Amino acid sequence: MPWNSGLFIAGVGGWLARNNSASDDLTAEEIAKFYGRAARSVMPNAPKFASVPLTLKSDQIIAAGFSASFKLARALQIGVPLAAVWLPAATSIVTYWTGVTFTPMPPPPGGLVGTTNIVTVPGLPTPLNFGIQSAFRKEDPFKVARKLDSAMKGHLKQVTGVWTGTAPAFPSPVPLVVPWVGLS
């Protein structure tokens, strides 16, 4: 199962629509919570194989990034926050994926037995910060959530890693390294 857009959009959009948050920190925690839930089922995209994350970090990393961005936006007291305001939020998402390990089994096409499967490049905070900025320019809570979802999925396409293991060969298996690009 890939990134769970439905859960993310319904959760974040619903939270924003209720508009009953006592603080930006609570909103940041809700965004992070739904991000973490949607991320639990991502898989390497190319080559596609059913490997899922083993070591996702705490959602609090993302909550701290969004809290910092919200505080920065309010401190600047400008109508529409600049894309740079959203760098803490974007950087927290990159940090979330840094060094994440995925299940080495089942192997990618051509693989036999896996030993490791790890994120080697967790993506970049830019253009993610521009996507987050675009989302928070929307008025409708569910449009905000859909734009955030789109930005998150765009970032996941940047996350890359490498699966290492063996490939079938006679008389014994041979080492195999399979780089993968993107999560979906």
Domain boundaries, the chain: 5-183
**What confidence score (pLDDT) does residue 1 get?**
66
pLDDT value at residue 64: 98
- Check residue 19 and give its pLDDT: 83
Q: What span, in angstroms and rounded, lies between the C-alpha atoms of 99 and 80?
A: 34
- pLDDT, averaged in runs of 10, over the chain (184 residues): 93 92 92 97 91 95 98 84 94 98 94 95 98 95 98 98 95 95 96
